[in-house]
Chain A
Amino acid sequence: MIEVRNLYKSLAGQPVLNGIDIDIKEGEILTILGGSGVGKSVFLKNIIGLLKPDRGSIRIDGVEAVGLKAKELAAIQAKFGMVFQGGALFDSLTVAENVAFGMKRLSSHSPEVINKKVTDYLSMVRLEGVEDKLPESLSIGMKRRVSLARSIATEPKYIFYDEPTTGLDPITTDVICKLFLDLQKKLDITSVMVTHDIPTAYKISDRIALIHEGRIAEVDTVKEFKNSANEYVRNFIDINTRVLKT
């Protein structure tokens, strides 16, 4: 379980997170919604230690993660997998080398086992025969799936997705959503997804949180979120619904 309390973060002198309070429960899919630039990705990066909070507390499985030294932080980071927005695949490595990268460093598997697992994880994200390709030859949807395979290959407890469906066509978005749900069942993981794509959030989430002005404006189950009385939540949903209709 991840407990975030009173989390503050400024970037270049501008406050981005203004006292975030939220619990991320084990085994759930939590979606963080919010407009562009409200700090959704900054929130994720603070939890996984890629950014240092200005103040506040982040407890991961009971361990305070804020203020840890590099070595202790690395042990915490090993619990996480992250699917970055653009995939963040290593350009100079093949797909297979990308997927094997984390396993080589974070597991004690032999090279033969790693090779076998690379194929298994790639087929889990419905990619076959791409092992020897370089990332530049893949579509954005394929890159995200390779990134997902690379993240789950280290067998993390938590997986964070940063805008996984942005820029994808509806069919590929649907494939990615089904993939998330499938992996969630198979791997017994806790997932946090950051997006501004409301239909995707409704489709796959157990709970939805909405960030507004650096705080959590609302966090609830999908059903409760849809019927929220919070004025900002209502506006956010209405505007997005109108945009989708046009």
Chain B
Amino acid sequence: MNKGNIINSMQSSLTQSLESFGGAADMVRKISLLIFKKPDEPANILKQMVRVGVNSIPIVLLSSFFTGMVLALQSGVASIRLLNQPVFMGSLVAFSMVLELGPVLTAMVIAGRVGASITAETGTMKVSEQLDALYMLGTTPEKYLGVPLFIATIIMVPILTLIADIVGITGGYIAAVTNFDVPGSVYINEIVSYLKIVHVFNGLIKSAVFGFIIVTVSCYKGFTTSGGAEGVGESTTRAVVYSMIFILISDYFLSMLLNSLGMV
């Protein structure tokens, strides 16, 4: 590939990326204007909350419980090596879960489980002209699908994160007590002494932003799907990959922002 082709290819990629960002921003603008108006189908919001939140509880419980246990196990082993005794296990598990692992792990699980399903569903509706049919029947994809999905995801991801925090800390408690004979009261006392409510809010703010990223990427990729069944598969894969990348990148900048606001 010569220099000219490389530049053309880069220009084309940049244009496509900017068009996608512009398109996604326009979709978010339309949904933001509709979100405070009378919902198209109020029952849809509840339905999506069950789909995004309630149905994700088992996988969130499983992943956060074992993550908490592994955290306690590794931190216990490390502190025995360094200090000859398992110390600060409660605070280490709690801070790790509440500030980072709870929000990020939950967001990753939701991006894979719910984000993929949102893109597959809306993408299938796009290629089978169901989204076009919505315009002809007095509504729009943003109003009928976008609004309930945005409300459900932005509310349910922080709730799932809170559950993940609690379950992860509980997992850490069980690992600390059973593997290292740490008294339960010591583990809990460390958490109560050092963990502040502001830390929990820090994680919940992040998770709300992650929820916004997941639903924006998933809806946009679904609404702009083309190319039949193959196109739906491609959109779904991209939605999950992009969501995860944006979650990880935004996590760093959000952490910096929240730190600068004194929320740590």
Q: Does A72 contact B (CB under 8 A)?
A: no
Q: Could you list which residues of chain B lie within 8 angstroms of chain A, going by C-beta atoms?
A: 40, 124-125, 128-130, 132-133, 135-140
| Docked pose: A74 CA to B129 CA in angstroms | 17
Quote the shortest CB–CB distance from B212 to chain A (angstroms): 23
Check: A86 CB closer than 8 A to any chain B CB.
yes
Instruction: State which residues 52-91 of A face B: CB under 8 Å.
Output: 70, 74, 77-78, 80-82, 84-86, 88-91
CA distance A151 to B138 in the complex (A): 11
Knowing A85-B129, A88-B129 touch, does A150 contact B138 (C-beta < 8 A)?
no
21 contacts between A and B (CB under 8 A): A48-B135, A48-B136, A50-B132, A50-B136, A74-B135, A77-B135, A78-B138, A81-B136, A84-B132, A84-B133, A85-B129, A88-B132, A88-B133, A90-B125, A90-B133, A91-B125, A101-B137, A105-B40, A105-B137, A105-B138, A154-B137
Distance between B225 CB and nearest chain A CB, rounded to angstroms: 15
A-B contacts at CB below 8 angstroms, number: 52
B132, A45: Cβ atoms closer than 8 Å: yes
Most chain B C-beta atoms within 10 Å of own C-beta, residue among A78, A81, A90, A151: A90
Give the distance in Å from the alpha carbon of A153 to the alpha carbon of B121 in the complex. 26
Which residue among B40, B125, B129, B136 has the maximum number of chain A CB atoms within 10 Å of its CB?
B136
Bound CA span A70–B33, Å: 13
**A27 on the interface (CB 8 Å rule)?**
no
Query: Is the C-beta of A49 less than 8 angstroms from some C-beta in chain B?
Result: yes
Q: Select B128's contact among A50, A88, A154, beta carbons within 8 Å.
A: A88
Whether the Cβ atoms of B138 and A106 lie closer than 8 Å is yes
Q: How far is the CA of A21 from the CA of B81 in the complex (A)?
A: 84
Given contacts A80-B136, A86-B128, A90-B125, 8 further A-B pairs with CB under 8 A are A50-B135, A81-B136, A88-B132, A89-B130, A89-B133, A102-B138, A106-B137, A154-B137
- Report the bound CA distance from A106 to B125 in whole Å: 21
Residues of A within 8 A of B136 (CB): 48, 50, 77, 80-82, 102, 151
Report the minimal beta-carbon distance from A111 to chain B, rounded to whole angstroms.
13
CB distance from A77 to the nearest CB of B (A): 6
A63 to B130, CA, bound (A): 27
Contact B137 A150, beta carbon cutoff 8 Å? yes
Contacts of A88 in B (CB 8 A): 128-130, 132-133
**Chain A residues, CB < 8 A from B140:** 70
| Docked pose: A129 CA to B125 CA in angstroms | 26
The interface residues of chain A lying within 8 Å CB-to-CB of B132 are 45, 50, 82, 84, 88
With A and B bound together, what is the CA distance between A80 and B136 in angstroms? 7
Of the candidates B40, B129, B130, B139, which one forms a contact with A91 in the assembled complex, judged by CB atoms under 8 Å apart? B130
